[in-house]
């Protein structure tokens, strides 16, 4: 309290992720922090079952139990000052049962901890580097959605400066994220009009997920302050590509040596090949976590620069799992399955669970992809829609066991409700397709 007060901080924002990756939070006056540390903050458990439109889904333990509480305990090891919000510091919170002793089974941060503990049983210490893309939009009352792509112009692929960013969004955001301590390294305009990517450094798995979660929340907050909308939606526009969530993964031993480096012809170890095989084996189920929305599957498809098949390749960006060209201590997997709408905790947890199973079961990877990876005769196709991916997750008993049955049950119930709501909704496409002639 004394240190915060000395730095002009009088409010601490305690935030945590809900089931779908949305930041939930409460602002606490600094003088109340000792009480919060002792007793925690009470939130309705149904926050894990609340849709983006604010409706509560009937998931076991929520409505049926009378909307009980969870207890959020601040993790002060994550405390940082917010460079754009004067007098405010923020920290992450961990979710517990109301007694404050037992972790909440649905809490995504806890799901990831379980996966980290499991893979540690094999002597693997995962190091993760997240990559996230997003679109920025500006208000447009004439557009059906009320938004149009920000600074939209063709061909500004991999550029920096005002050419593809007339308002200087990227530079302001990059500097604020640096000052927030998120380990950002660089950024640029991406392929799509109004699309950007800011790179995050690699670190231990939980820290990397923490930073990815805070990154998404901060980008959205900063855009709103400028009157803009930053969206991590998988594919917000019909005429542009989607936004990815790529995860670079290596595993270290107790001495800090990279267990993926090897002496074979491709420079990878047997452990690396088993890890690749685990990701491929459990890819259909992983799609439910890495591609968790109805919209996610509109990002997939041939020639989309997004994965479509369950395959891996050496420095091949058309493969689901790409092995970057660096070797030795830099040997790693780049898992390109995910889209930016994924909850980082859940995507990384699923990835670690799949790697754990691949190494534990000593699975064998097929030969790597040669050439352009959109030939369905060469490899199995990923799930083509959310219901198929959810069914694959439900059927993957080994992965479910690592992630936790209670969590998976809640996730499946929530997401199947999303599918049902979508199928009841009349879309603009349907009206345009049928209304005039039929």
Residue 331 covered by a domain: yes
Angle between helix axes 405-424 and 386-395 (nearest 10 degrees) is 160
Q: Using CA atoms, how far apart are residues 411 and 390, in angstroms rounded to an integer? A: 9
Angle between helix axes 283-290 and 386-395 (nearest 10 degrees) is 120
Q: What pLDDT, on the 0 to 100 scale, is given for residue 385?
A: 97
Domain boundary pick from 104, 139, 159: 104
CATH number at residue 81: 3.10.20.70
Structural domains in the chain (count): 2
| Exposed/middle/buried for residue 271 (C-beta within 10 Å: 0-12, 13-18, 19+) | buried
Spell out the residues 6+ positions from residue 159 whose beta carbon is closer than 8 angstroms to its own.
188, 189
Q: Which two tokens stand for residue 104?
A: 């909440």
Q: Using CA atoms, how far apart are residues 188 and 170, in angstroms rounded to an integer? A: 7
Q: Using CA atoms, how far apart are residues 378 and 396, in angstroms rounded to an integer? A: 23
Q: What pLDDT, on the 0 to 100 scale, is given for residue 309?
A: 94
CATH number at residue 314: 3.30.590.10
User: Is residue 14 a contact partner of residue 26, using CB atoms and an 8 Å limit?
Assistant: yes
Angle between helix axes 108-120 and 344-360 (nearest 10 degrees) is 20
Query: If you ran DSSP here, which 8-state letter would residue 45 be given?
Result: G
Spell out the residues 6+ positions from residue 3 whose beta carbon is closer than 8 angstroms to its own.
none
Residue 50 covered by a domain: yes
**CA geometry: angle 312, 315, 321, nearest 5 deg:** 30
Domain boundary pick from 44, 76, 104: 104
Q: What pLDDT, on the 0 to 100 scale, is given for residue 63?
A: 86
Residue 17 covered by a domain: yes
336 and 388 assigned to the same domain:
yes
Residue 429 covered by a domain: no
User: Is residue 154 a contact partner of residue 240, using CB atoms and an 8 Å limit?
Assistant: no
100 and 237 assigned to the same domain:
no
290 and 179 assigned to the same domain:
yes
76 and 121 assigned to the same domain:
no
Domain boundary pick from 104, 133, 159: 104
313 and 220 assigned to the same domain:
yes
From residue 386, alpha-carbon distances to 29, 383, 411 in Å are: 42, 7, 12
Angle between helix axes 283-290 and 405-424 (nearest 10 degrees) is 70
357 and 296 assigned to the same domain:
yes
142 and 63 assigned to the same domain:
no
Q: What pLDDT, on the 0 to 100 scale, is given for residue 304?
A: 78
Residue 128 covered by a domain: yes
42 and 173 assigned to the same domain:
no
Digits of tens for pLDDT over the chain (438 positions)? 999 999 999 999 999 999 999 999 999 999 999 999 999 999 999 999 999 999 999 999 888 888 899 999 999 999 999 999 999 999 999 999 988 789 999 999 999 999 999 999 999 999 999 999 999 999 999 998 999 999 999 899 999 999 999 999 999 999 999 999 999 999 999 999 999 999 999 999 999 999 999 999 999 999 999 999 999 999 999 999 999 999 999 999 999 999 999 988 899 999 999 999 999 999 999 999 999 999 999 998 877 788 889 999 999 999 999 999 999 999 999 999 999 999 999 999 999 999 999 999 999 999 999 888 788 888 999 999 999 999 999 999 999 999 999 999 999 999 999 999 999 999 999 999 999 999
121 and 100 assigned to the same domain:
no
pTM for this model (two decimals): 0.96
- Which residues constitute the domain of residue 57? 1-104
56 and 143 assigned to the same domain:
no
Residue 434 covered by a domain: no
82 and 156 assigned to the same domain:
no
| Exposed/middle/buried for residue 7 (C-beta within 10 Å: 0-12, 13-18, 19+) | exposed
User: Is residue 103 a contact partner of residue 204, using CB atoms and an 8 Å limit?
Assistant: no
């Amino acid at each position: 309290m004394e240190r915060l007060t000395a730095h002009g901080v009088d409010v601490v924002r305690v935030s945590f992720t809900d089931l779908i990756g949305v930041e939930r939070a409460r602002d606490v006056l600094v003088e109340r922090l000792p009480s919060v540390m002792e007793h925690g903050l009470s939130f309705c458990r149904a926050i894990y079952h609340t849709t983006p439109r604010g409706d509560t889904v009937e998931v076991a333990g929520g409505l049926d139990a009378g909307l009980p509480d969870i207890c959020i305990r601040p993790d002060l090891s994550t405390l940082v000052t917010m460079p754009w919000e004067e007098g405010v510091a923020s920290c992450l919170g961990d979710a517990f049962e109301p007694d404050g002793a037992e972790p909440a089974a649905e809490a995504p941060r806890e799901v990831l901890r379980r996966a980290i503990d499991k893979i540690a049983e094999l002597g693997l210490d995962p190091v993760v580097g997240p990559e996230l893309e997003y679109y920025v939009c500006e208000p447009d009352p004439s557009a059906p959605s009320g938004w149009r792509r920000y600074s939209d112009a063709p061909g500004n692929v991999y550029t920096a400066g005002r050419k593809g960013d007339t308002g200087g969004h990227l530079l302001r955001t990059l500097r604020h994220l640096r000052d927030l301590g998120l380990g950002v390294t660089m950024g640029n305009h991406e392929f799509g009009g109004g699309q950007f990517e800011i790179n995050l450094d690699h670190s231990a798995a939980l820290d990397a997920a923490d930073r990815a979660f805070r990154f998404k929340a901060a980008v959205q907050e900063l855009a709103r302050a400028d009157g803009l909308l930053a969206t991590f939606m998988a594919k917000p526009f019909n005429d542009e590509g989607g936004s990815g969530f790529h995860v670079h993964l290596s595993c270290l031993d107790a001495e800090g040596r990279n267990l993926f480096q090897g002496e074979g012809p491709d420079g990878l170890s047997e452990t690396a090949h088993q890890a690749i095989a685990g990701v491929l084996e459990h890819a259909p189920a992983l799609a439910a976590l890495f591609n968790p929305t109805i919209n996610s599957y509109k990002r997939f498809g041939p020639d989309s620069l997004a994965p479509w098949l369950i395959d891996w390749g050496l420095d091949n960006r058309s493969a689901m799992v790409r092995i970057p060209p660096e070797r030795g201590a830099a040997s790693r997997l780049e898992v390109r399955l995910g889209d930016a709408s994924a909850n980082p905790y859940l995507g990384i947890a699923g990835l670690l669970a799949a790697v754990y199973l691949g190494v534990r079961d000593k699975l064998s990877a097929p030969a790597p992809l040669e050439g352009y990876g959109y030939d369905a005769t060469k490899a199995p196709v990923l799930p083509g829609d959310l219901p198929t991916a959810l069914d694959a997750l439900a059927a993957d008993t080994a992965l479910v066991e690592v992630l936790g049955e209670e969590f998976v049950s809640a996730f499946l119930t929530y997401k199947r409700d999303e599918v049902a709501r979508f199928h009841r909704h009349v879309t603009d496409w349907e009206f345009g397709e049928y209304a005039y002639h039929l």
